[in-house]
Chain A
């Protein structure tokens, strides 16, 4: 890997694979925005180009680059260093996932209909420039953490092995069901789950919205919290969101300069962790006999950057009766908070169109995907439900038989 823009060969390969370039001619493209622009910005920050805000931080350019230049990182850092230092209220609201989540959870019965109501959407659209065509993720009435502490925490000691779960904002505020599935599957495999005291949002949205100081504070906090929850990196730390894992592992050191050396190797995704356990013969999976489903798997951009989509695919292939189609590599267009912004809505949908079209052709029972914002986008833009591979696993496994096969209860 090479952050050094001097190593850029000027081959323009990155430009070929950037999803923004074909839909937004205002965006200078990865080569110009990244290594080429950096050369000028180092001379004088006033060469900063505001159109860098159109970068999705999807990292597709980095995956394609033959020289391993961290193009996306260069762009994110430039946005934080040279970009406008005042954050718009709208961007801040979208980025502050913890604050927004906590408030909305309390008021979930009100917040959901309110966020869905037309007049509210009109205000958000015109005042805040959050596009009115977006459906908002629903907020759950009870936080995952509250549910876990009340119902599950006490029973986790009895399992022979331990793993730490980084649930992320989405599981905590919007979709605790995924966290419940994770706990059920891991328990069946003989792993007791613990949470991270004081876990904060990984900060991906803060990075994307160039709120560098807040992101930095949160990253430092999380690294400390994960260090202590994982016994200084001795316990595995798993998550169910490709973006959370990616941010903690790679954005912390590369973009924010936060040293995560003690924990990086231990921070993984549940799918990769479970795949390795099965592959090494440490656990057995027992599936329900009659399970049948037709599934289309979409690899989120950050999953491709992690290089871990193969683990989701291989895990899904282990499920008898599951007919899997791996969709072509294509950004869904939402890129976290990006697609929520009014100025990006149409571009965002244009980026995702080939993907939506292909899903329509496959006509699956549902879509499999490791990312929560992809889920919002795909559920809004196609008629299909999106399930995390962990949820699919929980549905396909005979959990009791799996627990027995792994020698407990």
Chain B
């Protein structure tokens, strides 16, 4: 089967790249072994939250020049970065995904444990707070859904109180949710959201919240609304009638799943082919090029293309593999940035900077993958499989995924036509 471009990995990077290419009329296929890291998203896209010494970044573009050479943002360069950043909101809006915030500066978000963190843009139900105070209200009612364990109302309330709000935690539920409670392992965000999507349940829930208000000027709810119908969070807020803030839950992330589904649907609407549940097998690089890929399911039928993109994610998605001795890239055996000294991989203190998070595939200035020290002319890397940066320490996961994907799409178009 022949395409213009075949992309390995259908998460944020693979889909952004595929959508950009399809919009320019290139025929793409995406092969994705399983669902992506978007299922764990906080609902906020990070671009560059912190400097190397841990200070919150205000204007991400200004901080780019201080990044080490070889960082994906340095490869793209400030000029192109600025252009891509401006294109992100319209690109996602075209896929039915509302992003809020000012792309030229960072915002703040409330974390699932009630703290405050810098971030960049956020999905429609969230608020891009402009100050680190992230004030929700003076008197806040934090809603706990009994039986739902993946949202900790106490932590959130404690965090808000530390920043000067008075909080009251209130249990709210509706009959329709009692079925889920019968099976505690299934009281999950996606199941709650699915029920809420059938309009009347959300309305009844919102009314129940409103009834519990006693003078509060704001409500905090877990982000378990709007799995398919993104208008639900807004409707619920309107019924409640006071300021309503959604706070991210533990996985799975309802806003993240919705985003994944909409990106995929947009890619398919543009004529792209999305193949889920299939794994690209170890493939050959011959004379500095990739000719075709084999997958587990396709058997003898190969996937041919002029260009290939590796957007297979990090360790979590199996885009990288670690053994006791070394870190490898399983599909092509590409060169990988990694500390040679095993003891430098990680810090036993879980909350410290973990070097292994910064491991990833080496690429040249145009994101061509590098094997045995030589660039592969028609293979590009995008997203968290790429090395040269530490997405967790610096807070740059979605930003690097989207920016590298947009850049790779442009390189492919300028090179292959």
Contact = CB atoms under 8 A, between A and B. Distances in A.
Interface of A: 1, 9, 11-13, 15-17, 21-22, 25-29, 31-32, 36, 62-68, 265, 268, 272, 275-276, 279, 304-308, 310-311, 314, 326
B297 A28 contact: no
A21, A306, A314: most-surrounded residue (chain B CB, <10 A):
A21
Contacts of B306: none
Nearest to A9: B316
Contact of A13 (B34, B183, B186, B278): B34
B317 A13 contact: no
B277 interface: yes
B36 interface: yes
A62 to B, nearest CB: 7
Interface stretch (B187-195, B351-359, B385-393): B187-195
B90 to A, nearest CB: 26
Nearest to A268: B299
Contact of A29 (B36, B186, B268, B279): B186
A265 B34 CA distance: 23
B252 A15 contact: yes
Nearest to A32: B185
B322 interface: no
Given A22-B194, A306-B297, A307-B278, A11 B185 contact: no
Contacts of B251: 11-13
A11 B252 contact: yes
A68 B279 contact: yes
A95 to B, nearest CB: 27
20 contacts: A1-B296, A13-B34, A13-B251, A16-B188, A16-B190, A25-B179, A25-B186, A28-B186, A29-B185, A32-B185, A63-B34, A64-B35, A64-B277, A65-B35, A66-B316, A279-B301, A305-B277, A307-B295, A308-B297, A326-B268
B318 A66 contact: yes
Contacts of A62: 277
B300 A310 contact: no
Interface residues of B, number: 37
B74 to A, nearest CB: 30
B180 interface: yes
B257 interface: yes
B39, B277, B298, B318: most-surrounded residue (chain A CB, <10 A):
B277
B273 interface: yes
A326 B180 CA distance: 32
Interface string B24-45: 0000000001111001100000
A9 B37 CA distance: 12
B78 interface: no
Contacts of B301: 272, 275-276, 279, 311
Interface in B136-187: 179-180, 182-183, 185-186
B275 interface: yes
Interface of B: 1, 33-36, 39-40, 179-180, 182-183, 185-186, 188, 190-191, 194, 251-252, 257, 268, 273, 275-279, 295-301, 316-318
A305 B279 CA distance: 12
B34 A64 contact: yes
A399 B306 CA distance: 35
B183 A25 contact: yes
A236 to B, nearest CB: 10
A17 B268 CA distance: 19
A1, A25, A31: most-surrounded residue (chain B CB, <10 A):
A25
Contact of B40 (A11, A268, A276, A310): A11
A17 B188 CA distance: 12
Contacts of B295: 307
B36 A63 contact: no
Contacts of B34: 13, 63-68
Nearest to B301: A276
Contacts of B275: 307, 310
Contacts of A276: 300-301
Contacts of B36: 66
Nearest to B29: A310
B21 to A, nearest CB: 18
Contacts of B276: 63-64, 304
Nearest to A1: B296
* Top 4 A-B pairs, shortest CB-CB distance: A307-B297, A63-B277, A66-B34, A32-B185
Given A12-B188, A310-B273, A68 B257 contact: no
Contacts of B278: 307
B51 to A, nearest CB: 31
A310 B6 CA distance: 15
